[in-house]
Chain A
Amino acid sequence: MGRFIVTRLAWSAMIIVASSILVFLVLRVLPSDPVLARLGASTGVDPDVIARLRAEAGLDDSIITQYLSWVGGVLKGDLGSSYASQIPVAQIIAERLPVTLELTFLAMLAVVLVSVPLALAAVFRGRSTADKAIGFLTSLGISVPLFVVSLILILVFASTLGWLPSRGYVPFIEDPSENLKLMILPVASLAFVASPLLIRHMRESMSEAESEAYVRTAVGKGAVRARVLLQHILRTSLVPTLTMLGLIVGYTLAGTVVVEYVFGLPGIGSLALEAALKRDYAVLQSVVILIVFMFVATTFIVDIVNGLIDPRVRVGAQHG
């Protein structure tokens, strides 16, 4: 187990380092200049001012020096300052992170609460109407892009029925009920897109388990269908389900870029988008690496949990 954890940890660290280098290089190698972007279209700015701003932002150093000083700062918790507003990046992220974490948490909760019962219902009766209906809904859900779901939900529940607000954010501590009300549509959008993936995956892995000998043995010994399903089949599909759930956390984090923008939530997804639009590389690179980190950390945790549940996972990883 120890060796398994170390290999997974090394792999995770490698991905984070590799993507940090990639992000940094892509943002540096190109001609678009963040200082000029900050000054905007105003012409006739004193070249000395531009030179001073460039030096302040550290843009005159070599790329390697810039990268190392950024990484060094990140390790110390200093992410530099925004090119646009001069506010420390760490402070901006700290203000915005809770929104995204709440959104992701609620979305995952919704995904699990919707998917597990539906997947069980689909498998319970085999090839029934319920199974077909769920199959149709999941393939529909997979065809619809996230932002389209958000738009449809706004059209129906906000602008036509007027039941729910379509934009805005209130911190949970200030007004819990208003906060949750504002979260309903964003969470529903994310869950609508992510649930089909989990349902489909669970359904496949459960029908696979169903044809295994031990399930037939259990049925042959007279176990009730519900018991076979919950005790034998659901348990075997736990590892693939958890793996998929880990991936879904990643998709959901990525989805916050879109959802936070559409619903006007001040999280790190919309922060990344604003930074990309403003060419504020100091903010963009740190937010992107943070998202990558959260994604990789989730995968890592899922791998370790899977290794704990199923010894074949950790042994297989060592030999593969």
Chain B
Amino acid sequence: MGHNMARTSAAETGREATPARRVNIGMVVLAVTALTCLLGPFLWHFEATQIGAGLPFLGPGFEHPFGTDDLGRDQLARLMVGGRITVIVAAGSALLSILIGVTWGVLAAARRGWMDEVLMRTADAFMAIPQIVFALVFVAAFGSSILSLTIIIGVLLAPTTARIVRSVAMSELSSDYAVAARACGLGRTRVMATEILPNVLPTIMVQATINVAAAIILEATLSFIGLGIQPPDASWGTLLLQGYGKFYNSAWLVLVPTVWIVVTIWALTATSESLRSRARREAAA
């Protein structure tokens, strides 16, 4: 044990510089991506819907940095507008999953007993079924508008969040400061809200970042298999689906959205990892 502890702490100090730098790269990439998608369409001189902005199936060039699609629409404009939908769905569903998941997890941790049992067993049952399979059923039933996709993905991501929040809240509840607060006569709900929740916040932040990544993957997958955002709207997944049908004409139509999605998810993963190690360092300090 002692041997192991010595090694991890040595490793931690040795890596001190690296996580801090990765924070910045991951977060910078995220900020640039989000800004490009949200503001880019106002600044860029082609409209996403403008047919014949260039010749069809152009490769990347000065005029059209990411080429054009089969109708000669500018691919960069389409990617930025598509990214907007992706950002809205991902942010909305991550927020929803955090709202549901935190309430769910905190309630289970605070109440214990049968309530805890029922809440956690429900979470287990949900998690026992692959998300994409549930998503198929929900989308078939509720349709695939931006709103319903956001709700569906948010609900599907909630149980995992609930489990994690519960376990952190439980361990915080047994710590000295929580016991002290209870001893001072504060009610259980009060302790939860004013003492425990602020300490669970770092974990919630990490989970929120992970959920955004998971939401992007789920939305893109659903759109790619034809169950997500429907034309004329197009998220990154929809663009990939359209590019997939034409990639013998132009591989760029698949390649560019692919790289963009992978970079975004990598940036989210890097951000969540640095948030996690920061939370760990703060907890240790």
Contact = CB atoms under 8 A, between A and B. Distances in A.
Contact of A147 (B130, B131, B138, B224): B224
A295 B128 contact: yes
Most buried by A among B131, B133, B139: B133
B129 A276 contact: no
A143 B210 CA distance: 11
Interface stretch (A108-116, A151-159, A174-182, A306-314): A151-159
A145 B137 contact: no
Interface size class of A (residues with CB under 8 A): 35 or more
Contacts of A213: 1
Contacts of A26: 137-138, 141-142
A5 interface: no
B141 A19 contact: no
B262 interface: yes
B255 A145 contact: no
A155 B269 contact: no
B133 A143 contact: no
Contact of B128 (A27, A140, A281, A299): A299
Interface stretch (A59-67, A223-231, A253-261): A253-261
A295 B129 contact: yes
A154 B143 CA distance: 30
Given A27-B140, A276-B227, A284-B140, A152 B132 contact: no
Contacts of A262: 244
A296 B125 CA distance: 10
B1 to A, nearest CB: 7
Nearest to A27: B141
Given A15-B128, A155-B254, A27 B137 contact: yes
A112 B269 CA distance: 25
Contact of A250 (B130, B137, B261): B130
B141 A258 contact: no
A300 to B, nearest CB: 10
Given A32-B143, A261-B225, A152 B137 contact: no
Interface string B265-285: 110010000000000000000
B244 A151 contact: yes
B70 to A, nearest CB: 17
Contacts of A296: 128
A30 B129 contact: no
A282 to B, nearest CB: 12
A171 B213 CA distance: 37
Given A15-B128, A273-B136, A159 B247 contact: yes
Contacts of B251: 155, 159-160
Given A211-B1, A257-B132, A288-B133, A276 B139 contact: yes
A211 B262 contact: no
A251 B258 CA distance: 21
Contacts of B261: 145, 148
B217 interface: yes
Contact of A211 (B4, B140, B224): B4
Nearest to B220: A145
22 contacts: A15-B124, A19-B128, A27-B137, A30-B142, A143-B262, A143-B265, A144-B265, A146-B221, A147-B220, A147-B221, A155-B254, A155-B255, A159-B248, A211-B3, A257-B132, A257-B133, A257-B225, A273-B136, A276-B139, A277-B140, A277-B226, A299-B128
Given A251-B130, A295-B129, 9 more contacts: A143-B266, A253-B130, A258-B221, A272-B133, A276-B139, A284-B137, A292-B128, A292-B129, A292-B133
